[in-house]
Amino acid sequence: MDPAPAIGIGLGFVVIGGANMLEGGNPMSMFLLPPLLLVFGATIMITIAGGTMADAKGAAVSFKRAFTSNAASADDLVPEVVALADRARREGLLSLEESVRSLDDEFLRRGVTMAIDGTDPEELREILESEVHAKRKADKHAAKFWSDAGAYAPTIGIVGTVMGLVHVLENLAEPEKLGHLIAAAFLATFWGVCSANVIFLPLGNRLKRLGELEAARMEVAIEGIAAIQAGSNSRVVAQKLRSMLPGRAPAQEAA
């Protein structure tokens, strides 16, 4: 589990609460049920209205994924692929039948299995690249739900503030109530902007990033499978796959 979203969102609220206390405010005064219910409830419902029920169910899954999924990296994939390429070159593709069962990466395991079964290299690449394309689309769609929520939330907050100010105008004859009513009205705007920029938009960006990393890992696996099928030298395979890893400098490759 990658702690980045929990740390970022959690500490973000801690900083906001700390700043409020330094200004002499009471953090608990920010937690009024009406503006919280309006901003979070209406934002999620309106975002659901922009899609389908399947999208809504997928949003719940993607919310959990944003907090619990590890940031997939292709680094640990390279030694496995190199070992398979070396064995396939020395003993043939059929010798990988036992090794493939121990692979943790499902995509790599499925691709190598298809290679062992004699699938045409071009057809196999086309199948695997189609999977990567489909995954990119699915991840982009999952991220869009939360990005859309981030776009709606500030506007919903303004709606809540307008509603609150209407109540203020209704109570002009009772000045002692105005301070509380005005504060409550502006809390809706606060939670609209805060939820968008501290929760919804970061979740959307997190899901986009996870999708990019997973797709990059799958692309490394595709090149590795193609090299295994072609019987390439394991050293060449290692160099080629490492050159695809992000942030790798030439000096690192040479090492």
* pLDDT tens for each residue of 185-200: 899 999 999 999 999 9
The pLDDT mean for the chain works out to 88
Q: What confidence category does residue 47 fall into, taking pLDDT thresholds of 50, 70 and 90? A: very high
Give the C-alpha distances (Å, rounded to integers) separating 249 from 6, 113, 138, 201, 242.
31, 33, 31, 32, 10
pLDDT band of 247, cuts 50, 70, 90: low
Q: In whole angstroms, what is the distance from residue 152 CA to residue 39 CA?
A: 9
Q: What is the pTM of this model?
A: 0.83
Q: Does the pLDDT value for residue 249 go beyond 80? A: no
The pLDDT of residue 248: 54
pLDDT digits (tens, 9 = 90+) for 107-162: 999 999 999 988 999 999 999 999 999 999 999 999 999 999 999 999 999 999 99
Decide if pLDDT at 252 tops 50.
no
- Say how far apart CA 180 and CA 80 lie, in whole Å: 63
What pLDDT sits at residue 101? Answer: 84
Split at pLDDT 50, 70, 90, the class of 244 is: confident
Q: Residue 48 and residue 42: Cα distance in Å, rounded?
A: 10
Largest alpha-carbon pair distance within the chain? 91
* Residue environment code for 173-209, b if the CB has 16+ CB neighbours within 10 A, otherwise e: eeeeeeeebeebbebbbbbbebbbebbbbbbbbbbbe
Q: Which residues contact 36 (CB under 8 A, 6 or more apart)?
A: 191
Amino acid identity for residue 34 in this structure: P
Q: What is the pLDDT of residues 58-105, one digit of tens each?
A: 999 999 999 988 877 788 888 889 998 988 888 888 888 888 888 888
Residue 149 sits at φ, ψ, to 5 deg, of: -60, -40
Contacts of 202 (CB under 8 A, 6+ apart): 5, 8, 9
Output the pLDDT for position 172. 81
User: Higher pLDDT residue, 30 or 47?
Assistant: 47
pLDDT over 80 (residue 223): yes
Terminal Cα distance for the chain, rounded: 30
CA distances from 222 to 29, 244, 246 (A): 54, 12, 16
